Amino acid sequence: MRLRWDVVIIGAGAAGCATAIALLQQLPNLSVLLLERRNGMSQPFRIGETLPPQTMLLLQQLKLSESFLARGDLPALGTRSIWGNTRINEYPFWYSCYGHGWHIDRTSFDDWIVQQAEDAGATVFFGATAAGTPEYRHGWHLTVEGVTASPVTLETSLVVDASGRGGRFCRRLGMHTDKFDKLTSIFRFYPAETNDTECSDESFTLVESGETGWWYSARLPQGQWIAALMTDSDLARNQGMLSEIEWLNALARTRLTRTRFEKKVPLTPLQAMPAHSQRLQQFCGPGWYAVGDAASVFDPLSSLGIFKALRHGLLVSYAIRDELQNRPDTIQKYQYLLESEFKQYRQMHRQYYQLEKRFMQAPFWQRRQEDSSAEAV
């Protein structure tokens, strides 16, 4: 087994695989290893996602557009919302120069992009985790578990943390994370009763604000819908939103969202996942970079999770290429790009939430009317 790698990427999700693909397109002789905690290709559960049309630009840059379109994902025609007033606002994607978006099965998408990374020349170790505190001695020495019967030490010049919201590698380095809110998603799945998604209301994502927070619903592949209440974790506990009765009562108080689900029998019980915005205080350093959710997490309202992951993969590939070619200021440039990106996101996030003035007495909305500073976690 090879023990020395040019680049080790921790995490084989969208950001990690995009990093590997972009790197190997520019430097095909590079040895690139992806360490992935899950065993095998498919994972038991991932929430579906809607990709905005501009994702196609990144897929084209990664030379993945043809393969992606061949997957046959459901078209997403746009977004309808009730936000800030009682009107139904519609934002169709057909005004975009990239066409429609896509409703994707996230598990299938992740399996697909891993295969693309392997086809590009990357090696993937499944069931592998980097354990202990990383050591930097003229390069990284990583203790990796799950590859062989006993832990093995791998050497590499560069590490990319693509391990998701937990940022496992960066946390072991002592990097601090700033958390900006307490948003959580309380969701369940419902059956879809028709396959007519080409030109129907089912192809639109629906976003609807309410006193407790806001609702998201979208059609997913494999004959399912998702309905999610986005609220703060402490409010969810205090208001009992993790209970069936209170969640359904909140759904019944909506105007459009309830009509999608009032005649449907749920497929799953309620589940909860963190959805808060956060960022690393430092996105990179000597010999390491963070990408995707390991670097920063955007509010689901932005619908930019996978878009950001692919973009970071491209950006970090340019930084690593420049670093390997001994060009100056590569770390500073990458830090600046991600700082600028997050600053722009925070401005848009603040502006959009402050459009909603109807529920000013509700704690969820009171918190978002202020320019809240980050909490260190």
- Residues 13 and 34 sit within 8 Å (Cβ to Cβ): no
**Tokens linked to 77:** 């025609």
Q: Which residues of 326-358 are buried (b: 16+ CB within 10 A; e: fewer)?
A: eeeebbebbbebbeebbeebbeebeeebeebee
| Model pLDDT for residues 38-92, shown as the tens digit of each residue | 886 555 556 768 899 999 999 999 999 999 999 999 999 999 999 999 999 998 8
CATH 3.30.9.100 segments of the chain? 183-274
| Model pLDDT for residues 181-193, shown as the tens digit of each residue | 999 999 999 998 7
CA 244/CA 144 separation, integer angstroms: 42
Tell me the pTM. Answer: 0.94
Nearest alpha-carbon partner for 306 in 131, 63, 56, 129: 56
Query: Quick one: pLDDT band at residue 1, thresholds 50, 70, 90?
Result: confident
| Model pLDDT for residues 206-244, shown as the tens digit of each residue | 999 999 999 999 998 888 899 999 999 999 999 999 999
Class of domain 4-48+105-180+276-346 as given by CATH = alpha beta
CB hemisphere CA count around 145 (13 angstroms): 6
Q: What is the CATH number of domain 183-274?
A: 3.30.9.100
Question: Is 270's pLDDT higher than 90?
Answer: yes
